[in-house]
Structure 1
């Protein structure tokens, strides 16, 4: 029956992140692969969902008040004036919002620029829509955007530029200077920007997320996608949204209806409570994840990983393998699963530009640190033991013994 499949289905490969996460579940391994917390979501948000279910909010539903609060938050954070009735579409998570945006914008052969490394779904959504992804490499170890490379990638076929900030997998927060470069490219080539802003509240070291749409001349040519998932630790609820000029939002809304009809009704009700969280909630969230970032960075550095660039946002550590470890990222991940019972993601899956066998694209591992302190300690002990037993490094000197580390 394989001959009945579409050409895209035949060429599409399974998600390595999903495969690794499923493997962790089957093997009862510690899962540092997939970006979901292993600790409880906030009680007041969970209680709101339970209350909605018990109140029989269980049928197809569009909760307009979500759009009202999203618009208010965008005004408060970025000074954007957004019409909640015409400019916002509620979707089943950011992933559907991004896919629907691609389907709304892309004709066959249109080019879409993506910064590399990049989250895995961008390429597949662009290709499903008939577009051609054009990857612009970020320069390690600080994942710097070279303006010349971006401008050189733009052509008359460029329909959109994708910006994910804070960035997955690197944790890079693109500052105003780099956003100015992207805005300049969009205006010069008369193309759109599609942003993924799911980590908008999760930034560190006094970095602040600034939406590309807030730059002069960019609101009318930017589609913002985001969700509840990361900010409120409810990745399984699948409540997201797209914000766009009215005519584009209308197209995204029509596609969303044909794909999924509506987002989960009781979780839409709970979203109303989440979106009204006080400022203290977001500050506590940021501080909590920053402490986890510092914790895993210290431990990874202590066992030889290269962590010159600490993530400025998101909850992933994109660390380079120890110099003394001669194998590639895939070899390391396979050893880690089989011998230590820990699952992480090989970095090569995030890179799409030319990558030689011994290039830096085969030297990075993505670790999710949105886990409990107990999970992080157990995982790092196992990683340390694996590297130590294989003779690659001398690890965990007395001054950074994991038993002496403070639990978060």
Structure 2
């Protein structure tokens, strides 16, 4: 029956991140691959979900209160005036919000600019909507934006640009200078910007998160996507949103309704509690993750990984394989699982420049590994112990 599959279905491959997570389960390895916490969600948020279920919020539902709170949040954080009745679409997680946005704005052949490396689902959503990805490489090891390369990526077919900040997989937070360049080119080329801001509350070293929509002239051409998942440690709840101009938000809502009808009702109700969490919650979240970042960064540095770039946001470290190790990333990860019982993600899945960019391919695309540190202290300590056992007397990793 394989011949009955559509061309789109045939083109899709299993997510390597999820495959590695399944492997971690089967082999009882420590999972530093997938970006989900292995510690409990906050008690006050869980209690709200339980209360919603027992109060029979279990049918199709749209909770307007989420939109009201998000509009207040956009005003407080970014100075944006958002109409909660018309400018927000509640979806099943940021992933669906992003996909629905692609279907809402793209026609076949429209080009979409992305920064490389980038998260795997962006490309898939663009292709399914008939769009054409065009990648602009960020410059390692600090993942800097090259203004000339970005300008060269725009053509008469450019419809949109995708910005993920804080950034997965590198942990980069785009600074104001870079955001101003992006905004300038979006305005000049009449380009729509789609932002993924799921790590908006997870930044370090007093680094602020700045939404691209807050820059002059950008709110009317920006669709912000985000979710509860990362900030509140509830990646399985699947409550997210898209915020943008009313005509686009309306189209996203229509697509969402046709595909999934509504986000999970009790978790929408619990979102009201999550979104009204006190400021101390967000401060504590950042302190906790910053401590874990420092722990894993120090570990990787000590065992020989090249980690010149200290992440400023998200909960990932994108580390280069030691020069002394000649294995490419996929084989390195396989050996890490076999020899240490620790699962990470090979970086090649985040790089796309070889297929879609108009520039030469970098030689580093198979030399990076992504480690997730959104794990409990016991998990990280156990992983550190196992990885340190791979270091020989000269301080080099035994993985060759």
TM over 0.5: yes
**Which residue number corresponds to residue 365 of structure 2?**
361
**Which residue number corresponds to residue 129 of structure 1?**
129
**Which residue number corresponds to residue 311 of structure 1?**
311
Q: Distance in 2 between matches of 1:202 and 1:121?
A: 21
1:341 CA drift (Å): 1.4
1:375 aligns with 2:379: yes
1:117 aligns with 2:121: no
Measured against aligned partners, the alpha-carbon deviations of 1:89-132 in whole angstroms (never above 9, x if no partner) come to 10000000000000001100000000000000000000000000
Whether the aligned pair in 2 keeps the contact of 1:147 and 1:181 (CA below 8 Å) is yes
Structure 1: state its 5+ residue gaps: 396-408
1:386 CA drift (Å): 2.9
**Which residue number corresponds to residue 393 of structure 1?**
396
Count of aligned residue pairs for this structure pair: 394
Q: What's the secondary structure of 1:354's corresponding residue?
A: helix
**Which residue number corresponds to residue 401 of structure 1?**
none
Q: Distance in 1 between matches of 2:236 and 2:104?
A: 25
**Which residue number corresponds to residue 170 of structure 1?**
170
Structure 2: state its 5+ residue gaps: none
Whether the aligned pair in 2 keeps the contact of 1:325 and 1:392 (CA below 8 Å) is no
Q: Distance in 2 between matches of 1:204 and 1:87?
A: 30
Q: Distance in 1 between matches of 2:45 and 2:267?
A: 9
Superposed CA RMSD in Å reads 1.5
Q: Distance in 1 between matches of 2:385 and 2:328?
A: 21
**Which residue number corresponds to residue 7 of structure 2?**
7
1:388 CA drift (Å): 3.3
1:167 CA drift (Å): 0.2
1:387 CA drift (Å): 4.6
1:174 CA drift (Å): 0.2
Q: Distance in 1 between matches of 2:8 and 2:19?
A: 19
TM-score by length of 1: 0.94
1:43 CA drift (Å): 0.2
Change (3 A) 1:129 1:188: same
1:265 aligns with 2:269: no
Q: Distance in 1 between matches of 2:18 and 2:382?
A: 22
Q: What's the secondary structure of 2:353's corresponding residue?
A: coil
**Which residue number corresponds to residue 219 of structure 1?**
219
Measured against aligned partners, the alpha-carbon deviations of 1:333-388 in whole angstroms (never above 9, x if no partner) come to 00011222111000011000129999211111000000011111211222222353
**Which residue number corresponds to residue 72 of structure 1?**
72
**Which residue number corresponds to residue 96 of structure 1?**
96
**Which residue number corresponds to residue 406 of structure 1?**
none
Mapping 1:2-401, distance limit 5 Å: 2-354=2-354, 359-388=363-392, 393=396
Measured against aligned partners, the alpha-carbon deviations of 1:254-280 in whole angstroms (never above 9, x if no partner) come to 000011000000000100000001111
Q: Distance in 2 between matches of 1:71 and 1:226?
A: 13
Whether the aligned pair in 2 keeps the contact of 1:324 and 1:392 (CA below 8 Å) is no
Q: What's the secondary structure of 1:254's corresponding residue?
A: helix
